[in-house]
Structure 1
Amino acid sequence: MSERPRLTVLSGPSGVGKSTVVAHMRKQHPEVWLSVSVTTRHPRPGEQNGIHYYFVDNDEFDKLIANGELLEWAVFAGNRYGTPRGAVLEKLDNGVPVLLEIDLQGARQVRESMAEALLLFLAPPSWDELVRRLTGRGTEPQDVIEKRLEAAKIELAAESEFDTTLVNTSVEQVAAELLALLGAA
């Protein structure tokens, strides 16, 4: 590859299906590199350090911020999450398409630090569908669902800040559109 690929950021409200779309695309195209986030939260059963996340304590996270080693970072549900800058730049320099799957706050930080990045907004087919997905998980108490719905309203209102909107009506279709935008198709 002669030209360096653009960093691609996929964002959108909680419950819209970001990780499902990304997992589907990467199953067929493992050459697309998905950045592994650093987090201060504890591993869940089955999660492995360096594969699902890089698990660090608060002191280590503070050092990463202080040394400018994070492309973006955010606080979510009391834990901090961030994207290691070095690994992303190394992959891009080597011509590898890089995808970040991050929240709105992180996407805004990437826009500030890497203006050339392509920001993609994954939208639900409708508000009712998003509500169904968030409440249909059956894994969270009602107060957590209410917080997610409030956050989703704010996130949906930020759609115009993104370069392109993809509507998640079909995981297969959106994964194909995402792949084409990554330039890996």
Structure 2
Amino acid sequence: MADGQSSARITDPKVMRALAHPARIAIVEHLGSTGAVVTATECAGLVGLSPSATSYHLRELAKFGLVEQAPSRGDARERVWRSTTSGFSVDGDLDEPETRDSQRALVDVYLSRDFARMREWVARLHEEPRAWQDASTLMGPMLLLNAEELIEVNRRVKEVLDPYRRRERMGDAPADARPVVVHYAAFPVE
């Protein structure tokens, strides 16, 4: 798929289950956020697996349309892969038990990875330059909203973040720019 890809909306519980693996989420995130074209060997370092295991995960992701084989970079024997989307959202029929279970499994893997990233950041925070220490934040304000207001807050947060998406900025980001994960969740509590 060419640049200008949109985010995929995943509704099929089989696709959710297929994606509910740490290596697969890492692959989809990397390819989608960078637009990179990679071999399984190049991708293996990213996910910490062997090239053959990574190749298996790429083929599984391709079965569900999340990645695809890209045109060769010159050596016809080399199999290269690219993302079919710039990101994804999960939106299945939660009245269906299979969808609920699949979504829960996917979100669990996703959250485990993101919380591990947060813990890693906090552990190395003291090693980072002061500018990055000051720029990073971890906050959890308690808001009082109705559903309509929460929709508006979510829309505005997305609007603020969109111009900074990695894939769109790769060619013109400041020289000192680094990949930054923004973990955002907004939901009612009891």
Q: TM-score range by the shorter chain?
A: under 0.3
Higher helix share: 2
TM-score normalised according to structure 2 size: 0.26
TM-score normalised according to structure 1 size: 0.26
Kindly indicate whether structure 1 or structure 2 has the higher relative contact order, using CA contacts under 8 Å at least 6 residues apart: 1
